[in-house]
Amino acid sequence: MTVDRPFEPLSGSPEVLDSLASGASRASAALSTVHSDLVGLDTTMTRQRSAAVDTARTALDDLMARVRLSDRVLRETARVLADRAAGLAREQHEALQAIAQREEAWTRVRRAEADEAAAWQLGLDTADLRHLDAARLAAEARARRDAAHDDVLDAERRWYRVRETKETSSRVAARRLGGLGHPDLVRWAVADGTTLADLGSRWADGVRLAERLSAGAVAGADPAERQELREGTVAALAAAGDDPVLWTALWERVGPAELYAALGVGAVAGPTREALATGLAAWARHATPTERYALGNALVSALPPGFHELGDRADLAAALLRPALPADVHRGAADALVERHGATGSSEADTAATGTLTVAVATGLAADPDAALRHLAPPGTTAADVTDRAHAWFGVAPPDGWPDGGTAVTGLLAAAIGAGTHPGADAPQQVRAALASSAATTALVAPGGLLAGAYPVSDAASRHVAAAYAPYLVSADDAAWHPSADGSPPAPGVRGLPPLAEGAEPVPEVVQPRLDAFALRDVVAATSTTETASGHWLRQVDIAVAAAAATATAEGVGAADAEALAQAGVADGAAVVGSIASGTISVAQDAAAEDALLYSTGLNLATTPVGARTSLGLLGLGTLLPPLGPDHVGAAREEVLATEDTLRERVVTPFETAWRRELADRGLPPDAIDDAARRWAADSQTMTITFRDSFDVHSGLGRRLGERS
């Protein structure tokens, strides 16, 4: 479909459409002649009796059915094209009228502005007796200007209405034409044993149901008549079953806007919702990817913009968008949701009203990680576009939280990042995933963001967030030294690894996002507020530390390189556990500001074994600190500092254990191993300083992000 520029003549050629309609009519007439010839041949063959003739007649019957169906298709094509040609000519004429009306109104605006300026100039000339009337003349000119400007706006609205009518009519015509061919549907019908004649009958049933829906959607119809149509439509929908032929005919002729209008703004009964969802799934199995995307997009874009007009339509759309639908449907709906957020300014009322719809779309899209990444960071996208998409999904949330506690939208993020960081992901995919992560990190904790609200997210959402950042924990500490200067998502980059000794196995690099350190810390803290949630992060830290330890102590890595890699891994692990601990201090700061008596620490690390020597049992969920008096922050800092040694041991011990194992494999005696591993111990000066530098920064223990000392 061509794009029409505002206030210019509408594109398109009614003459070409008329010519195509005539061609389809001629082809239909030719098929009618062919069908007559086939009927004559069939009549002749009825006088013959043999197995070969019977076989030939069976094939002939099938061929005649195909010809009849093709004839019907061509006749319908001709009718649609002829109707569209007439409609386009009418729309182009109305658009030209609106353009002329607008130009004439602008001329009056400019004339009135000139008159007003002349009136004020006249008022300055005291020698002219008319200067006493200057104020009145200026006011009259302003009134004419305002009236003319209103006419400009009326003309512009008229032009937009005409363009919308054209676009809607073109989409409807395209859907109707697209459904006339559907070779996949024909092949399915043949394979299912359905004759093409029966296929045409079932198609006609779908067309009639579509016409019933369209009739119920007509604005201005008699209320009693509309109610009768609606009741009949609801009954017909519930009885439609899962016939893909019928539903294909219906969905190719009726758009979501007509469906919503026909069913009204009230709640739709369960059987009707179920029938519509079943029918949509049946249609989607035989639709093209483009058709699926378009319908998914329309299910959302056809929703009215006003909160009061929305009614239960968003919930109906959510019911139709089952998770098992092809990803193209959900991707179309997701793109429309992003556009809606931009159009409505992500208002709290609209976000809340479309909550179930957002959950449904995110759930469906997350089921296909490649589609999730394609939506959040499309190929060839810009950082600005990714930022807008991240804001729509993660930078807004209903005032009382998402219905599922944020599980679906965070699942969308985790799926997209997974698609761009798995071992088979190419460099462009990795860059797109890094862009999505960078933008999402800032959006999640921005004012109004998913993790900035008063309601905590679910443990499942915390698990999704931890999984989304798992591929990037190797650069968690680096983020502290690259905070954004203006609050915008930093550009993605590749974190370089220290050089390995000659002969060592190369370590695959994954494109890493440039994460805003403040935002990253807050993301981790906000998703670590329960024992289960913090456990998700700790498991990811354990996995990352184990992988880093294996890399640092791989065969062929020299001692100096190994220690440098180990220190980098310790710093990254400390960054994450420090971010978890930052929740304790931030809660204490809030408590101090509000002079609260009790508060929840926000830090809760799961009781998890560390090596074979110790275990963590830190600050159970909901534990209240002892009465702190006025010094909430001081007490919180002491609590965090008290956990530092245990956390350091958790992060450092895997490196020491792996290094000792590697040295033993190299044949070193125990005394030599103890001596070589001394700097790798959790209580060594080297690892203590390495851990503390990163831990202090990310936990907020008094150092500022970005500083080293």
pLDDT attached to residue 2: 66
pLDDT attached to residue 236: 82
Q: Are 402 and 357 within 8 A, CB to CB?
A: no
Global pTM value: 0.64
Q: How far apart are CA 565 and CA 552, in angstroms?
A: 5
pLDDT attached to residue 597: 37
pLDDT attached to residue 177: 60
Q: Are residues 509 and 534 in the same domain?
A: no
pLDDT attached to residue 335: 96
501 falls in which pLDDT band (50, 70, 90)?
Answer: very low
Q: Are 230 and 263 within 8 A, CB to CB?
A: yes
Residue that is last in its domain, among 97, 131, 158: 158
Q: Are residues 575 and 692 in the same domain?
A: yes
Whether residue 348 lies inside any domain: the answer is: no
pLDDT attached to residue 493: 43
Sequence letter at residue 508: P
Q: Are residues 120 and 149 in the same domain?
A: yes
Q: Are residues 448 and 553 in the same domain?
A: no
25-34, 49-58, 304-313, 380-389: least confident range: 49-58
Q: Are residues 505 and 596 in the same domain?
A: no
Q: Beta strands 511-512 and 609-610: pairing type?
A: unpaired
483 falls in which pLDDT band (50, 70, 90)?
Answer: low
Q: Beta strands 609-610 and 614-615: pairing type?
A: antiparallel
Q: Are residues 557 and 585 in the same domain?
A: yes
Name the E strands within 471-550: 493-494, 511-512
Give the residue from 630, 645, 538 showing the smallest Cα distance to 591.
Answer: 630
Q: What is the mean pLDDT of residues 584-599?
A: 43
Q: Are residues 122 and 149 in the same domain?
A: yes
Question: Is 136's pLDDT higher than 70?
Answer: yes
Q: Are residues 534 and 440 in the same domain?
A: no
Whether residue 582 lies inside any domain: the answer is: yes
Q: Please report where in the chains the tokens 């965070």 appear, as a residue.
A: 410
Q: What is the mean pLDDT of residues 128-144?
A: 85
Q: How far apart are CA 564 and CA 499, in angstroms?
A: 9
Which letter, b or e, does each residue of 546-573 get, where b requires 16 or more Cβ atoms within 10 Å of its Cβ?
A: eebbebbbbeebeeebbbbbbbbbbbbb
Question: Is 499's pLDDT higher than 50?
Answer: no
Q: Name the range with the highest mean pLDDT among 313-327, 572-586, 614-628, 654-668.
A: 313-327
Q: Phi first, then psi: give them for residue 330, nearest 5 degrees.
A: -70, -35
User: How many structural domains does the chain have?
Assistant: 3
Q: Are 579 and 699 within 8 A, CB to CB?
A: yes
Q: What is the mean pLDDT of residues 524-550?
A: 84
In this structure, the dihedral spanned by the alpha carbons of residues 418, 419, 421 and 427, taken in order and rounded to 10 degrees, is -160
Q: Are 588 and 602 within 8 A, CB to CB?
A: no
Whether residue 235 lies inside any domain: the answer is: no
Q: What is the mean pLDDT of residues 560-587?
A: 75
Give the residue from 537, 535, 566, 581 showing the smallest Cα distance to 653.
Answer: 566
For 575, residues 6+ apart whose C-beta sits below 8 A from its C-beta are: 476, 477, 479, 480, 694, 695, 697, 698
Each residue's pLDDT tens digit, 222-279: 677 777 777 777 888 888 877 888 888 888 888 898 888 888 777 777 888 888 998 8
Tell me how far apart the 2 most distant CA atoms of the chain are, in Å: 116
Question: Is 19's pLDDT higher than 80?
Answer: yes
Question: Is 168's pLDDT higher than 80?
Answer: yes
Give the residue from 671, 681, 709, 678 showing the smallest Cα distance to 693.
Answer: 709
Burial (0-12, 13-18, 19+ Cβ within 10 Å), 33:
exposed
Whether residue 226 lies inside any domain: the answer is: no
Residue that is last in its domain, among 102, 124, 158: 158
Q: Are residues 508 and 545 in the same domain?
A: no
pLDDT attached to residue 490: 54
Q: How far apart are CA 532 and CA 465, in angstroms?
A: 13
Q: Are residues 446 and 505 in the same domain?
A: yes
Q: How far apart are CA 339 and CA 476, in angstroms?
A: 32
Q: How far apart are CA 342 and CA 10, in angstroms?
A: 26
Whether residue 637 lies inside any domain: the answer is: yes
Q: Whole-number mean pLDDT of the chain?
A: 79
How many other CB atoms sit within 10 Å of the CB of residue 643? 21
Question: Is 179's pLDDT higher than 70?
Answer: no
- Full residue range of the structural domain in which residue 502 is found: 368-468+483-515
Q: Are 9 and 99 within 8 A, CB to CB?
A: yes
What is the total residue count of the chain?
709
Looking at per-residue pLDDT, the higher value among 579 and 654 belongs to 654
Q: Which residues are registered as beta bridge partners of 614?
A: 610
Q: Is 106 left (phi over 0), alpha (psi -120 to 50) or beta?
A: alpha
Q: Is 600 left (phi over 0), alpha (psi -120 to 50) or beta?
A: beta
Q: Are residues 398 and 491 in the same domain?
A: yes
For 339, residues 6+ apart whose C-beta sits below 8 A from its C-beta are: 301
Whether residue 284 lies inside any domain: the answer is: no
Q: Are 637 and 659 within 8 A, CB to CB?
A: no
pLDDT attached to residue 496: 40
Whether residue 308 lies inside any domain: the answer is: no
Residue that is last in its domain, among 113, 133, 158: 158
Whether residue 224 lies inside any domain: the answer is: no
Question: Is 146's pLDDT higher than 90?
Answer: yes
Looking at per-residue pLDDT, the higher value among 448 and 42 belongs to 448
Q: What is the mean pLDDT of residues 32-50?
A: 78
DSSP 6-73: TTSPPP--HHHHHHHHHHHHHHHHHHHHHHHHHHHHHHHHTT--SHHHHHHHHHHHHHHHHHHHHHHH
Give the residue from 416, 431, 442 showing the smallest Cα distance to 492.
Answer: 431
Q: How far apart are CA 605 and CA 580, in angstroms?
A: 8
Structure letter (DSSP) for residue 91: H
pLDDT attached to residue 408: 96
For 541, residues 6+ apart whose C-beta sits below 8 A from its C-beta are: 473, 573, 576, 577, 650, 651
Alpha helices in 285-354, H assignment, sequence order: 289-301, 307-310, 313-320, 327-344, 348-353
Q: Please report where in the chains the tokens 């004020």 appear, as a residue.
A: 120
Q: Are residues 446 and 548 in the same domain?
A: no
Each residue's pLDDT tens digit, 103-124: 999 999 999 999 999 888 888 8
Q: Are 417 and 468 within 8 A, CB to CB?
A: yes
Each residue's pLDDT tens digit, 182-224: 655 655 655 566 654 566 567 778 888 888 888 777 655 567 7
pLDDT attached to residue 629: 39
Q: What percent of the chain has pLDDT over 70?
A: 79
Question: Is 545's pLDDT higher than 70?
Answer: yes
Question: Is 608's pLDDT higher than 70?
Answer: no
Looking at per-residue pLDDT, the higher value among 396 and 206 belongs to 396
pLDDT attached to residue 247: 85
Q: Please report where in the chains the tokens 């992500």 appear, as a residue.
A: 346
In this structure, the dihedral spanned by the alpha carbons of residues 632, 633, 635 and 641, taken in order and rounded to 10 degrees, is 160
In this structure, the dihedral spanned by the alpha carbons of residues 551, 555, 559 and 563, taken in order and rounded to 10 degrees, is 10
Tokens linked to 414: 């985790």
pLDDT attached to residue 57: 72
